[in-house]
Structure 1
């Protein structure tokens, strides 16, 4: 199996967003408030070949400047990540316009994948047709992403309407997008990430792995916590997965140390 190892650059500073997005949805991007040069240097030093960044960090500079920074670090831009509400018709056009802008910039910067997360939880509770709305919106977003030359993936996530295994199965019956499993989010919501990898074996082109500590709740490097990412890697081997494996860790006291520990874990299990 041919796998390449990458790391998300979200660990080097606090997660935030573009505050203008509060009043202008088309500007509502994620971003890590950090020195991306340091993040890229640490990720490369830890042994990874590629990186994923949030859409806000991607749009923070020109694609040419980002390409130069990545080349200097010896990294490839694998993917970018965007979130969206996706269930409200009045703002969907604005969300899709943002995705179109991000997809174009990502392609120009050399990315090959685009990861989407979201599906808003309403204040009054989830409505049954929210899943249909989400599936339709994801298909529209996926078409935009594919036109830009990128592969589109949906990433189930805590705090959205797609958390537990039944919801994951349901939404992938309503969209054509690929499944990007995030092992910690799937496990925290009651899923079995290894089993879900096997369930969607034909629809996985990018994988997010991170560790999970249940009590107190938190994310960890891959060699720590309560989640058996080794079993997930075995499932990936069993389905003959080839492609990028993206380790991820939302925050850690020493980001380089966390990245290096996860890299050692991946090298050991994929050996």
Structure 2
């Protein structure tokens, strides 16, 4: 006897998977292992970081603070290659709003890191502006709001940096909006982008810092996606963030409270961010950075394993 259509059991449908993010290359960074400084006894030793980031299933890493990983290119190439790792970028810290007077000191710092970054085959240099208040003590070092002349120096000196780094090392600078710096809120990010040459200056959109400072990363990708050359993947805990904002807590102590949290427990949701990035139609690195300084040495790897699995579920193969 044949069952009627109304009584037939429909075939089960396997759960749908998100489209593969073919333009997104995911990685992680020393930051996700609690590393903020070149040398600190509370940090994960660099050999353990390299072992564990590879064990977590990542193929790409950033250099982290200069001096944390070996600075000899030959040795670092050997150490990364034997673990199947490659370098996506180096990171520099700058105070370019102070004008030409800080150029020589800045360039001495930048050139060493740019040279190692190039030697490792990477193409990007992440540029983080200096903090306006001390990251540990909370002491206010300068006005949180730049003057018109400060903005002029910040933008013109950043363009200079972009030109010099490109011409001398063949690298592209990607400026990282960051909490407790002058490039933080969506308004300040837009002002910075409007005043800089797209040929010289791109943006590293950090989803956690942008949310920390009131921004929407999907909206940013839709509004000025052509300026975004690099991504940092990070989430914030909304409850802790509200306490941090209300108490005017500096970024360092906020991180110690756990304001940056393991995905997918925070905001922004990363799947729509990654989908919007894929929609730009360009190749982008998306490097996981879960600020956790300081943290117990056994904490990072389980989080990294879960995070890598979560990113695969978002389409980041």
Q: Fold match, TM over 0.5?
A: yes
Q: Which string of whole-angstrom CA distances, capped at 9 and with x for unpartnered residues, describes residues 90-112 of structure 1?
A: 22221122112210121112222
Aligned equivalents of 1:124, 1:269: Cα separation in 2: 40
Match of 2:94 in 1: 84
Match of 2:14 in 1: none
SS in 2 for 1:15: coil
Match of 2:288 in 1: 247
How far off its partner does 1:59 sit?
A: 7.2
User: Over aligned residues, Cα RMSD in angstroms?
Assistant: 2.3
Q: 1:224 aligns with which of 243, 265, 268?
A: 265
5+ long unaligned stretches in structure 1:
20-31
More strand by proportion, 1 or 2? Answer: 1
Match of 2:135 in 1: none
Q: 1:52 to 1:42 in 2, by over 3 A?
A: same
TM-score norm. by structure 2 comes to 0.76
TM-score norm. by structure 1 comes to 0.88
**8 Å Cα contact 1:99/1:144 also seen in 2:** no
SS in 1 for 2:67: helix
Q: 2:163 aligns with which of 120, 139, 143?
A: 143
The count of corresponding residues between Structure 1 and Structure 2 is: 260
2:58 matches 1:37: no
5+ long unaligned stretches in structure 2:
1-21, 133-140, 242-258
Q: 1:3 to 1:260 in 2, by over 3 A?
A: same
**8 Å Cα contact 2:128/2:177 also seen in 1:** yes
Q: Which string of whole-angstrom CA distances, capped at 9 and with x for unpartnered residues, describes residues 112-142 of structure 1?
A: 2110010553524532221221111211111
Q: Which moved more, 1:164-173 or 1:213-222?
A: 213-222
User: RCO higher in 1 or 2 (8 Å CA, sep ≥ 6)?
Assistant: 2
Who wins on radius of gyration, i.e. which is larger? 2
